[in-house]
Amino acid sequence: MRPHTKTLAPLMAALLLSTPISVVAEDDDSLEATATLGASINRGNTDSERYSLTFDYLQRTREHRFTFDAEANRGESDGKEDVNNTRAASGYDWFFHGPWYANTSLSWRQDRMRDLYSRYSVGAGAGYQFFDDDQIRLSVEFGPSYIHEETLEERDTSGEGAARWALDYRQYVWEDSVRIFHRHEFVMMADDSDNWYATTRTGVRMPVRENLSASLQFNYDYDNKTTADHRYDSTTLVTLTYDWE
């Protein structure tokens, strides 16, 4: 059985590399842009407010894809600010062999509650596009990154290498009228496995009228490096989204 085991792995790898299962729109060119405003207001034992504003842009041809997204979150509990963060990211993907693509990414983030004045991340790697059509989109990407951080209070700076993993999924269900979506990014520093952070966005979106939709969205951010009081931030939002497609 050992000779068969040795030949099976290369054969499966060759089949995977030679079978492009990624699907692109028939015109080989697509553009999407969305702007989303979300809010969560609670009154009772704890009075809290959360507001979120996001913008997403994607342009895709058969061989190239450009992405840009930005997000700002603000909030307070019992009159005291407890959420203040902003992020922006851009990426370029080159599809060099069917569903396989080379990926580059650049991002920036600030978070006052986590004593983060700025975090810049520059990365490159590889990705695999399982599906990409009007019905479903699913891709994963991974690779090395370089992280540069500056604290808010002391303005201390640090720079180090890291490993990055990301997933992007969206799918229309229920007669193409409802969209479910999930995105996450996980980054772990190369020299310290306890120093990592993750960002996730999950939700369901339903049409309201032409180009306008409503969503129920759950945002969860976790930073294992910060103090326990500010290690994670979770918010459930009701959002309105306007899209250009």
Assess whether pLDDT exceeds 70 at residue 111: yes
Structure tokens at 162: 């890291």
Asked if residues 140 and 127 have their Cβ atoms less than 8 Å apart, the reply is: yes
> What gap in Å lies between CA 141 and CA 166, rounded to an integer?
5
85: which DSSP letter? E
Determine the structural domain holding residue 90 and report its residue range: 23-244
SS3 227: coil
Average pLDDT over residues 53-60: 96
Would 53 be classed as within a structural domain?
yes
Q: What does the pLDDT read at residue 28?
A: 65
* Nearest residue to 125 via CA among 148, 144, 138, 140: 144
Would 216 be classed as within a structural domain?
yes
Residue type at 168 in one-letter notation: D
Would 18 be classed as within a structural domain?
no
The residue length of the chain stands at 245
The DSSP element (H or E) to which 14 belongs, if any, is: helix 2-18
Residue type at 87 in one-letter notation: R
Instruction: Please tell me the total count of domains within the chain.
Output: 1
Q: Domain containing 112 — which CATH number?
A: 2.40.230.20
Would 3 be classed as within a structural domain?
no
Would 71 be classed as within a structural domain?
yes
Would 207 be classed as within a structural domain?
yes
Would 12 be classed as within a structural domain?
no
> What is the distance of C-alpha 145 from the center of its chain?
15
Average pLDDT, the chain: 88
SS3 232: strand
pLDDT digit string, tens, across residues 69-99? 999 999 999 889 989 999 999 999 999 999 9
31 Cβ neighbours under 8 A, 6+ residues apart: 58, 59, 60, 244, 245
SS3 210: coil
pLDDT digit string, tens, across residues 150-179? 999 999 999 999 999 999 999 999 877 899
Would 157 be classed as within a structural domain?
yes
Assess whether pLDDT exceeds 70 at residue 17: no
